[in-house]
């Protein structure tokens, strides 16, 4: 054992904001593109809090020409006077000191999303430089910073008619994987903020030369407008949207819901304007109220032979779209990402408000009530059929691990972390893949024909498809209520289809299956799409190159100017022999795999509805809108 001393000299003290720069993940979750954009929301949330306090009505987000970003609100402005005990400007405390802010003072903010006092200071610490301008009482004040350290004391720079706080910052590229902001990650979140805060205007402007744009979001209808947006491509089965907003014991609960003819359900939960993707106490209260109230209505109003049906939570939420927003004085979240609200008092309050209001709604709207109750009864019967289908499959040995499908060519490795399975389109490609693979770690599952469209059918119908049942059996995780992602046999599940229209369609059908019925495979980061090359360019006997697409083809031809290669275009995996398939698509040293992730669950849900759902009109509109972006496969 090493004989080293451990004394006070070994204790490192990180002063000021050094700890944030040393361990940024503790404060923003990650230093990838999501962490980069998290900086925006830390500042935007301050403006939203000003709106909730009745002091602001507009927030501007501007990506500047140099790639920095400016966020403005027209609120009261961060105080600039000298703090009575700290003896420095309150602005400097808020911008350069952890756990300092107005969110701890209930007199300043009745409701706030961030009570930890770290937002602005963390943004400042993780920026190469930052500048904060405050406009108060007809005057402008300013302070600038380098990596979170003030360049000078807060100073008054002149008179101004503006009001509020302007924060400009340039993220530090030594901290983040990328410092390039993207509108695709900003606009959906701004739209959501505008829905949740009816009457608040959000302006977004990108001033960069290659991506100039301007958007304004404002929805006076609040979450009712949000609900209409979510159901835009769906067919409602109730004429009137249910809406309730009430405050009880200093907890405000706002709910909007509507049932559609869709097989999926959509529930969005927010605590103090922050989306809680894992739900929490407000979700528990809402679901309990929904199940009990619809069950009570069903028992009181159904015909005699249907009264014996006891509706479950799964029954009553099929086809449901709901937005639930609660506001509490002191929100408590399970983690720094705030994905789950855990204030215990919220559950009974939400349950009472939703239960009482929904009962009144059903009594006053008998036609809607009948449609909702009838829909739940149909879902209950379908659930029983799905359960029977699962049990039938298990009895046949399809999901219980009692045997693998004959079409599966399994690998020798038994450690899931080292194993991968290729789901391959067609028998010929499957044969090449089986011959060319690394048998130690790579399993092959050939798909015969096009799989069932999982968007249009309930689970019982999906399980009537032999291909799907065999695939679930191969993965080893089960399906529906019995699914257990810890039993996944392969930590790389790779979709490998032809680089043509039919291949794209098969990949889309498989992505629909995984998104709707095998979602933990996606959420766990286990699903990938292989990228087979489109061309092989041969310049000589031992001089050839694989080319991924037309863009890369033009680049290669430009680089090798004066040389005319023999060009082979692969429209199908079956055209490649085993060696070619291994070299281009399966060799871990040279292949390209794209991991399937869901950055925006709401948008992904809408896209599957549009492209794969029952309604034709939204799909037609989408195709007409994006037809110019399509590439012909000739």
The two structure tokens encoding residue 123: 């943004």
- Measured between alpha carbons, how far is 615 from 233 in angstroms, rounded to an integer? 7
Residue that the structure tokens 């769906």 belong to: 234
Phi, psi of 147 (to 5 degrees): 45, 40
Give SS3 for 148: coil
Q: From its phi and psi, is residue 158 left (phi > 0), alpha (psi between -120 and 50) or beta?
A: left
Dihedral sign for Cα 285, 290, 296, 297, please.
positive
Among candidates 474, 442, 479, 481, which has minimal Cα distance to 464?
Answer: 479
Is residue 199 within 8 Å of residue 232, measured between CB atoms? no
Where helices occur in 97-171 by DSSP H, the ranges are: 119-125
**What is each CA distance from 38 to 57, 72, 103, 604, in whole angstroms?**
22, 16, 19, 20
- Measured between alpha carbons, how far is 358 from 369 in angstroms, rounded to an integer? 10
**What is each CA distance from 619 to 36, 111, 557, 603, 616, in whole angstroms?**
34, 41, 38, 15, 5
- Measured between alpha carbons, how far is 211 from 187 in angstroms, rounded to an integer? 14
Q: DSSP labels for 418-467?
A: G-EEEEEESHHHHHHHHHHS-TTTEEEEEE-SPPP-TTTS-HHHHTT-HH
| Rg for the chain, CA atoms, rounded | 28
The two structure tokens encoding residue 296: 């009570």
The two structure tokens encoding residue 375: 């829909």
- Measured between alpha carbons, how far is 233 from 242 in angstroms, rounded to an integer? 19
Neighbours of 188 (CB within 10 A): 14
Sequence-separated (6 or more) residues with CB below 8 Å from residue 46: 73, 114, 119, 120, 165
Angle between helices 33-52 and 183-196 (to 10 degrees): 20
Residue that the structure tokens 């559950």 belong to: 347
Which residues belong to the active site? Answer: 425, 498, 500, 502
- Measured between alpha carbons, how far is 32 from 185 in angstroms, rounded to an integer? 13
The two structure tokens encoding residue 153: 């004391």
């Amino acid at each position: 054992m090493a004989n080293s001393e451990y004394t006070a000299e070994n204790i490192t003290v990180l002063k000021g904001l050094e700890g944030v720069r040393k361990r940024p993940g503790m404060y923003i979750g990650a230093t990838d593109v999501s962490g980069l954009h998290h900086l925006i929301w830390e500042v935007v949330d301050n403006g939203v809090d000003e709106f909730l306090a009745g002091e602001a009505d507009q927030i501007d987000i501007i990506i500047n020409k140099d790639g920095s970003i400016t966020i403005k609100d027209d609120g009261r402005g961060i105080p600039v006077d000298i703090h009575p005990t700290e003896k420095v400007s309150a602005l400097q405390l808020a911008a350069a000191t952890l756990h300092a802010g107005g969110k701890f003072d209930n007199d300043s903010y009745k409701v706030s999303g961030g009570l930890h006092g770290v937002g602005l200071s963390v943004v400042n610490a993780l920026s190469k430089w930052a500048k904060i301008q405050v406009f108060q009482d007809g005057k402008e004040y300013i302070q600038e910073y380098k990596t979170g350290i003030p360049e000078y004391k807060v100073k008054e720079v002149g008179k101004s008619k503006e009001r509020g706080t302007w924060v400009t910052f340039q993220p530090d590229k030594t901290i983040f994987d990328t410092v390039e902001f993207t509108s695709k990650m900003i606009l959906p979140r701004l739209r959501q903020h505008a829905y949740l805060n009816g009457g608040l205007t959000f302006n977004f402007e990108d001033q960069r030369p290659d991506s100039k744009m301007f958007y304004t979001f404002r929805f006076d209808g609040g979450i009712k407008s949000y609900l209409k947006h979510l159901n835009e491509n769906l067919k409602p089965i109730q004429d009137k949207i249910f809406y309730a907003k009430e405050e009880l014991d200093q907890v405000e609960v706002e709910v909007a819901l509507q049932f559609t003819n869709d097989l999926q359900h959509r529930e969005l939960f927010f605590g103090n304007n922050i989306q809680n993707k894992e739900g929490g106490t407000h979700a528990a209260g809402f679901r309990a109220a929904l199940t009990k109230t619809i069950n009570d209505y069903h028992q009181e109003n159904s015909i005699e032979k249907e009264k014996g049906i006891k509706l479950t939570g799964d029954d009553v939420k099929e086809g449901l779209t709901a937005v639930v927003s609660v506001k509490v004085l002191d929100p408590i979240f399970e983690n720094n990402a705030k994905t789950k609200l855990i204030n215990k008092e919220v559950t009974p309050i939400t349950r009472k408000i939703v239960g009482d209001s929904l009962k009144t709604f059903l009594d006053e709207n008998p036609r809607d009530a009948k449609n909702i109750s009838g829909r739940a009864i149909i879902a209950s019967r379908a659930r029983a059929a799905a359960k029977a289908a699962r049990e039938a499959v298990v009895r046949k040995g399809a999901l219980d691990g009692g045997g693998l499908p004959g079409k599966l060519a399994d690998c020798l490795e038994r450690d899931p972390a080292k194993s991968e399975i290729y789901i391959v389109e067609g028998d010929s490609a499957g044969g090449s893949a089986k011959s060319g693979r690394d048998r130690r770690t790579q399993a092959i599952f050939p798909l015969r024909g096009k799989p069932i469209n999982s968007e249009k059918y309930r689970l019982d119908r999906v399980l009537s498809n032999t291909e799907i049942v065999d695939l679930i059996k191969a993965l080893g995780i089960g399906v529906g209520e019995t699914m257990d992602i810890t039993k996944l046999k392969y930590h790389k599940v790779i979709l490998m289809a032809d680089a043509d229209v039919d291949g794209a369609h098969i990949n889309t059908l498989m992505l629909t299956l995984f998104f709707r019925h095998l979602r933990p495979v996606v959420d766990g980061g286990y699903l990938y799409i292989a990228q087979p090359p489109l061309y092989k360019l041969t310049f000589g006997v031992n001089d050839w190159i694989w080319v991924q697409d037309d863009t890369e083809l033009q680049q290669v031809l430009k680089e090798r100017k004066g040389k005319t290669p023999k060009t082979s275009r692969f429209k199908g995996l079956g055209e490649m022999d085993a060696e070619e398939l291994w070299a281009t698509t399966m060799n871990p040293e040279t292949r390209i795999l794209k991991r399937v992730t869901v950055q925006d669950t709401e948008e992904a849900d809408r896209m599957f509805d549009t492209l794969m759902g029952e309604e034709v009109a939204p799909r037609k509109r989408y195709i007409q809108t994006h037809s110019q972006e399509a590439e012909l496969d000739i």
